[in-house]
Structure formats: structure tokens, C-alpha cells
Chains A and B, each alone.
Chain A
Amino acid sequence: MPAIQFHRRQLLQGAAALTTLWAGFASTAHAASMPGARELAGEEITLTIGQTIIQVDGRPARAVAINGGVPGPTLRLRQGQKLRITVINELNEDSSIHWHGLELPFQMDGVPGVSFPGIPALGRFTYEFTITQHGTYWYHSHSGLQEMMGCYGSIVIEPAQADPAPPAHDHVMVLSDHSYVHPAGILRKLKVDPGHYARYPQTLAGLIAGKDQPLKTRLEFARMRMDPADISDVTGKVFRYLINGRGMADNFTAPITPGAPTRLRFINAGSMTFFNVRIPDLAMKVIAADGQPIVPVEVDEFQMGPGETYDVLITPQDRAYTVAAEAMDRSGMARATLTPRPGLAAPVPPLRAPVRLTMRDMGMDMDMSHGGGGMDMSMRSQANAPDVKLGPGVDMIAPMPVDRTGDPGLGLDKIGHRVLTYRDLVAPEQNPDPRAPQREIEMHLTGSMDRYLWSFDGVTMSEAHHPVTWTTGERLRITLINDTMMGHPIHLHGHIFELVTGHGDRSPRKHTVIVQPGGKVSFDVTAIEGDWPMHCHLFLHMAMGMMRVVKVRGA
């Protein structure tokens, strides 16, 4: 009986997908007639930031668009080329564009108040720098909450030596989240009612029905004043999840050729959403992370935090496939279709069961054999984090944070197929700087769920008059310890760093790293002169203060 129901549901979804597919193709044609080319190349590029109304699944939504579109145009560049990008700000407020993941002179990095004064309302600014790297990157506004309203686009940089055997297709997949309400309203609601967008709270009915956590675990979390159902601050209750600006019904559709490799460049441009990406019935060979090549590794699914990018190769058969990018908390999905012919679609997988936090996510993994012998296992001990300012903005200090780079990400540990972990990433060539780090810096990611405050070491950006200082050229080990119950994708501007995951001088190179709740991550980095922001790429966490300026000065 259940099997029959399953088929019926698949058929229904297939039929629904088919009817929207034509609409999808039609709207693609419509998009082409929208102002602004979808792809820009060359050494002289102009981008215009302006307000617009976009249609998300047939409903109008306010947006801050670049060249009239959300996302903005893809910049197709070549390694080694020079670039002059003039950005025209048509907004009535200051704006900016930050080149996420690019190594460039810091004064071109595009963060108002750190690297430049910003682009004034109705003003313009010309960025000028040389493209030194290749791979998949992106750009976005670093002003206010403009990124959350659509002010982002993708960057594809071809290597200096062209690929002798390029894939048959090369598609950019920009994952994002968009709301029909203004993000300032979202932030305010989180501030006055932190659980406001909770989609799947645990209930008494659930307890009686034997769902979710047993009573004992619920009581343990209640004693800690924590909500194990609080996976994402902002959920599908207010967000629509998009691929290349298209919602579920809009169904972004891209061509594939049966038997021929296709490259998909996934960019998580979401403001507040971790995505779980999979293509049912199709293995993905991950070939690059954060624009940096890695030894190909075949997986069925991967989790990506805002700011991260992954390039995958797929070899499809003669059928359509659904690209399913499920929000980590399972409150919604972004979806696209890959098809050899217009008119085909594949079933959209249903949302999976809601995720619940465990004691491991609270940095209290008691299953480990060495237990808590001699350690202070209380939830907020200064002894476990001497450098953290234990103020109102710090509701926990993980007593036993563990290296979780071998974990596949929240909710994907028992999923039954291959899920990428950071430990699976290996650089194909020796890292450019294999020196041992000269010193180690520990930074704690801190926050208060009930006050909706986010910070580093218990201090918000607005309070941080003591910036982090590094010396130009020095090799550093940065250890990030997550003392919160949420994962944070931490992005360091202007640098590509090496993750410490046991791969020696073939460590994966990244610009953004997820620190799992109750976990820790180390990376080694060679300091480049400049003033560089380092922040959580959950935009509202950054807006609440989870940001620092790293000041790198000559020795």
C-alpha cells in the first residue's frame, strides 16, 4: 500500500513539474529580454545597482538588482586579465560590491568603512585589479541588507591555459533565499521574538506520538534553556529558495547532453540558508571547492553554507534530472531541472524529516571514551574559554568542542548515501605555502539565542576596538571554536587558507569554512597586508556583530 502511494505521489509531482516546465522555458525567454546581459566579459565592465520588483513563483517581491536582474550578470573572466569594473549606484542609500573569494589589493575588496568609503547614493566607483586565480566565485553588496534583497552575482574565471577538453555544458547554479518582506523586518522579528520563524518546533503531540526527541533529551535541552529544533533562524516560513533567481514553480531549466560531462558551479549566495545539494539518481564528482581545484571525489550529496562554492561534474543519461537544494532545516527547497530536451522533468523529492540538535551539537559529546575527565563540563565555564568575554551575549561555552571536519553537516549523518565532508577534500597540487604556522590564534564564535546577539569572543563588531592584528607574510594557524548551537560559515576576505584536516601540504584551500555547532575548525593562512573583514556569512549574524577586522601590517 505505501509503495502504491509513493508512485502516485511521484506521478503527481511529475505531472505538476511538466506543466510548469513550459512556463519555465517561456520565462527564460522572457528573462533574455530583460534589461542587462546575463553574462559579461572583457576588461571593462559596468554594473548598475538599482531597486526593482522581481517575480518569485508568480508573486512580486521587492529586490535590489544588479543590471536589472536577480542574480546579477555572471562575470566571465580569464586568469591573468586586468579588470576595470565601474559600479553605478542608483539606490538612495550607500552601496558596495565585494568580490567574494578573490585575492586582490585590499582597497579594492569593497567593504565600506574597512577597505573603502563605499559607493554613495547615486554615485559610482571603479574597481581596478588583476585577476590572479581561476575558478568559481561570486560578488555581492556588503552594505546593509542589500545582499539579502538580491544584490549578488556569479564570477566564472577560466584558467590562463584553457581546458583542452572542456565539458559539454558549464552551468552556474546560484542558490539563494528571497523573501516577500523586507529583511529589516525579518531581523527585527528575530530580535524581539528569536523563535519567530521556527518551522518545526517539538511538540507534546510529537512526544506522545513518539516522534522527535524522547522526554529525557527534551528535558536536558530545556534545562540548558536551548531549543534543539532551532536549526535555522530564518526558514521557509518567510523565504522562497531560488536557483538562478527561479523559485520552485519557476523551475530554472538547463540543457544537458546524454553521456557528456556537464560542469555545475554551485554558489551559495543565500543570506541565511545552508543548502543540502543533491541530484537524485545521479552521482556528482566534486572537482573544486571555493574555486580551488580538488582531487575529484564522488558523492551523492553535499551541504554548503552561505559563501561557499562547489564545482561538480556530472555525466547524465538520456533523461531529465532534478537539482534539489534543500534548506538544511528542511523547511523548503530550491529546485532546477537538467534536461536533454525541453518538455522533460524529473520528480521533485519530498522534504525530509526535520533536523534536531544533539548533545554533540552542543559541544558535549559524552560518548567519547575519554569522557569529561578533569574538564569543566558546565555549560558556561570561563575555564573552557579564558579569552571570551562572558557577557549577556554568550549563552554557552562548548565544554568539549570536537573537530567535526569529518562530519557531513547537520542532519546528513545518517542519510544512507555518500555525503561530502571537509576531510574528503584534497588539493591536487602542493599548497603554495607549506611552512609550519609560527603561532596559533583561537577565536570563539559566540552568541545568545534568546537575545539574538552574535559575536566573536563575546564581543560584537560594534564593540571591537581591538582588532585582530597579523604580520604581513606570517604563517598563522587560526582555530575557530563554535560555542553556539548553530553552524556558522566564517569567511575571511582576501585570503585563501588551508584547512587542517590531516592532508599535510595537500590541504584543501578555501575562503569560507563552516564551523559546525559545538565543533572546531583550524586553518593555516599566510597573512596578506591590508584591512580584511572576517565574519559569519549568515548575513544577520554579521549584522548583529559576528565580524572582526583583521589588520595585517608589515613586520
Chain B
Amino acid sequence: MKMRYFLSLALALSAMPLFATGLHAQETGTDQSPGSAPAPAPAHDRLADRYYDPAAMARAEAVMMNGHGNLTYSQIRADLAEVRVTGADKGYHFEGEAWTGNVNRFVVATRGEGDFGSSGDRGAEKGRFKEGEVQALYARALGPWWNLRGGVRQDFGPGPQRTHAMLAIDGLSPYRFDIQGALFLSQRGELTGRIEAAVDERITRRLVLQPRGEVNFSVQDQRDRELGSGLTSIEVGARLRYEFTRQFAPYVGVLWTSSLGRTADYVRAEGKSASSAGVVLGIKVWL
């Protein structure tokens, strides 16, 4: 009871100065509250036209507007450019893109891989480019972190090739994962897809560990491409890069890949192993 009395007294005392200023209406200058006067109609004229040549002002205004938020930038980058060593087999793999634009971008992306051949191979098999693809895309920003990419993909290389219409989403997820999901519809009506995720964990200022994974799937069975329906392959790796600069960072890493389901059967039928583990050596570089 006593406690409550003291508390209410203290509250009353602390409120007094507020009450006093309100009572005497002593608020001046910036202490006063703003009114609610209506805003004037928006003005669209250029006042400087009264003093200078309006044509010159119009030109200068166009330059000024463009120069404050509407310029174009570009980048060429290779996220992966690596040699893969699995037992006696040596191969290479690359993924990269070039873009130009600002918020929305035009992108040319490419990836591919080949063999340097294994020590037991016949000479004809050596240095064979296996498969590659190039994508021409328009990337539209969906929000602060996600982009919608649409365009075409053309496969190239010695194997069966397709032309695809493609739709992809890429961006940064919570906890800063770089994620890309893509759907490809080939000219024969086959639907395939790919999901990639990577995250950078900075160990020291220059040393970065990047776990990275990729899953591929196909809706149809595509015998000529050695793809079975369902999940076709998975690839999981971890790369440790050293950033001499942010633009030039060599890395080493480990990689495990596996074909899955019927795709694995196709691979085994060729006398190859469905899964393999190895090491990679490469550089991440951009210009």
C-alpha cells in the first residue's frame, strides 16, 4: 500500500514539468508541433529558364537526371575456372557470366567442362571438350535481393545439343546464401532444371571457405542425353580461396559428384562410376 503511494507520487512529480510547459504554452521555435496545412500543387517548371537559355537548361537537366541514378555498368566474371582431379582422371570446368546494365541487366552466361584425359586413355580421348552451354538473358530485379532471368540457352559440344527457353530466379537468401534456380524447356519439349547454392564464410580477411552445391533434374527420360527422369545428378563441394584481391582469388577444394537414378544406370552402362570424389584447383576472377 505504502509502496504504491510513493510510486504514484513519483509519477506525478515526474510528469509535472511536462504539465507546466503545456499549461503556460511556452513552446517556441522548433518545440512547437507542426500544423496540417495542405501541400501546394506539384511544380514541374524549371525556374532557371527565366535566367538562362531554356534549351541549354533542358540539355543540362537531362544530363543531371541521367547522371544521378541511371548510368550503366558492366562486369565479366568467372566464378569457377578449375581443374578437377578424380583419381587418374583430370578434367576442367568453368562457370561465368558477363552483364551490362544497372538494376535490370542483360546477361550472357556460360558453363562447360571437358577432359584432359586419364593416363590409361587412348590418345583420341585426350583433351576432349565434353559439354557446354551459353545463355543469353534479360535479368529483371524482383526486389532488393532477387532477380528473374529469362532467355535462351544453347548447348554446344560434341554430345547431343538442345536449344532451350529458360526461366531462372537468382539472388541472396536470408543468411546470405547465393541461390539460383533455373528451368529449361528444350525445343523438343523436354523440361529440365537446376538448383545451385553457395555461401561465403570468411575465415580471415583474405581466406574464404565456400561450400557449394548443385542439383539437376529432368522431367522426361532423355536417352540421347543420358538423363533419366527425376533427379539426375548432384554435386557438392567446398572451395577455400585466397583473395589476393577481391578480383583475383585462386582456390583449392574438394568435390563429390554423383549421378542419380536412371541417369546413374546410363553412366554405369558405359562402364563408368556413377559417383566420384576429387580435388579442384582454380581461380575466381572478375574484370
Mask of A542-553 contacts with B, CB within 8 angstroms, 1/0: 111101000101
Contact of A437 with B34 in the complex, beta carbons under 8 Å: yes
Chain B residues, Cβ within 8 Å of A451:
103, 141, 144
Tell me the A429-449 residues at the B interface (CB within 8 Å).
430-431, 434-441, 448
Are B42 and A462 touching (Cβ within 8 A)? Answer: no
Whether A113 lies near B175 (C-beta < 8 A) is no
A293 within 8 A of B: no
Give the interface centre of B36, B48, B75, B247 by most chain A CB atoms within 10 Å: B48
State whether the Cβ of A491 lies closer than 8 Å to any Cβ in chain B: no
How would residues 252 to 287 of chain B score, 1 for a CB under 8 Å from any chain A CB and 0 otherwise? 000000000000000000000000000000000010
In the bound complex, how far is the Cα of B51 from the Cα of A530, in angstroms?
12
Contacts known (A436-B33, A469-B42); A393 close to B144, Cβ less than 8 A: yes
A-B contact pairs, 26 of them (CB 8 A): A113-B57, A193-B286, A203-B202, A204-B202, A204-B204, A205-B204, A219-B175, A225-B175, A225-B176, A392-B144, A393-B103, A395-B144, A437-B32, A438-B37, A453-B69, A460-B69, A462-B66, A462-B69, A470-B40, A498-B30, A503-B30, A504-B29, A506-B29, A524-B29, A530-B47, A545-B70
Residue B2 interfacial (CB < 8 Å)? no
Stretch at the interface among A11-19, A56-64, A114-122, A148-156: A114-122
Give B contacts to A, CB under 8 Å: 27-48, 50-53, 56-57, 59-71, 73-75, 102-103, 141-145, 172-176, 201-205, 209, 246-247, 286
Given A204-B201, A392-B141, A460-B69, check contact A504 B48 (CB 8 Å): no
CA distance A440 to B44 in the complex (A): 21
CB pair B57 A504 closer than 8 Å: no
How many residue pairs, one in A and one in B, have C-beta atoms under 8 Å apart? 207
Q: Which of B53, B74, B144 has the most CB of A within 10 A?
A: B144
Q: Would you call A201 and B202 a contact (CB within 8 A)?
A: yes
Q: Which residues of B contact A200 (CB under 8 A)?
A: 205
Would you call B29 and A439 a contact (CB within 8 A)?
no
| Distance in angstroms between the alpha carbons of A193 and B79 in the assembled complex | 13
Q: Is the CB of B68 within 8 A of A453?
A: no
Q: Pick the residue among A117, A437, A461 that contacts B56 (CB under 8 A).
A: A117
C-alpha gap A342/B168 in the complex (Å): 67
Residue of B nearest to A395 (CB): B144
Task: Tell me the complex Cα distance, A112–B68, Å.
Answer: 12
Other than the given A500-B30, A505-B28, 6 more pairs (CB < 8 A) read: A223-B174, A391-B143, A437-B34, A439-B34, A439-B39, A461-B69
What 1/0 mask marks residues of chain A from 339 to 351 whose CB sits below 8 Å from any chain B CB?
A: 0000000000000
Question: How far is the CB of A5 from the nearest CB of chain B, in Å?
Answer: 24
Question: In the bound complex, do residue A117 and residue B29 qualify as a contact, i.e. CB atoms below 8 Å apart?
Answer: no
Tell me which of A106, A395, A501 contacts B47 (CB under 8 A). A106
Interface centre among B43, B56, B62, by most chain A C-beta atoms within 10 angstroms, is B43
- Tell me, in angstroms, the Cα distance from A500 to B130 when the chains sit together: 68
> CB-nearest residue of chain A relative to B174?
A223
By Cβ-Cβ distance, the 9 closest A-B pairs, closest first, are A545-B69, A113-B64, A460-B69, A505-B29, A392-B141, A461-B68, A436-B32, A462-B70, A395-B144
In the bound complex, residues from chain B placing their C-beta under 8 Å from that of A500 are 30
Tell whether A394 is near chain B: CB-to-CB under 8 Å. yes
Known: A191-B73, A437-B35, A469-B39. A113 touches B203 (CB 8 A): no
Interface string of A85-129 (1 = CB under 8 A from B): 000000000100000000000110001111111100000000000
A199 to B42 Cα, complex, angstroms? 44
Contact status B68-A547, CB under 8 Å = yes
What residues on B are CB-neighbors of A477 within 8 Å? 34
Verify A117–B172 contact, CB threshold 8 A: no
Q: Would you call A223 and B175 a contact (CB within 8 A)?
A: yes
CA distance A499 to B47 in the complex (A): 28
Say yes or no: is A202 at the interface (Cβ < 8 Å to chain B): yes
Number of A residues, CB within 8 Å of B: 89
Closest to A466 in B: B42
Bound-state CA distance A454–B176 (Å) is 21
Per-residue B-contact encoding for A370-401, CB less than 8 Å = 1, 0 else: 00000000001000000000111111000000
Q: Which of B38, B51, B172, B286 gathers most chain A CB within 10 Å?
A: B51
Given contacts A113-B63, A192-B73, is CB(A450)–CB(B175) below 8 Å? no
Give the complex CA separation of A193 and B286 in angstroms: 10
Q: In the assembled complex, which residues on chain B have CB atoms less than 8 Å from the CB atom of A471? A: 40
B52 to chain A, nearest CB (A): 5
In the complex with contacts A222-B174, A222-B176, A225-B176, A504-B75 CB distance below 8 A: no
Question: Are B34's CB and A112's CB within 8 A?
Answer: no
Check A450–B51 contact: CB distance below 8 A: no
Neighbouring A residues of B71 by C-beta, 8 Å: 543
Judging by beta carbons under 8 Å apart, are A440 and B75 in contact?
A: no
How far apart sit A435 and B238, CA to CA, in the bound complex (Å)? 65
* Cβ-defined contact, A438 with B59, below 8 A: no
Closest partner residue, chain A, to B53 (CB atom): A117
By the criterion CB–CB under 8 Å, are B29 and A116 in contact?
no
Partner of B204, one of A203, A390, A544: A203
Provide the residues of chain B in CB contact with A450, threshold 8 Å: 144-145, 172
B54 nearest CB neighbor, chain A only:
A117
- A177 interfacial by beta-carbon distance below 8 Å: no
Across the interface, name the chain B residue whose C-beta is closest to A465. B44
Which of the listed residues A192, A450, A469, A500 has the most CB atoms from chain B within 10 Å of its own CB?
Answer: A192
Q: Is A352 an interface residue (CB 8 A)?
A: no
Chain A residue contacts of B53, Cβ below 8 A:
117
Is B47 in contact with A545, judged by CB distance below 8 angstroms? no
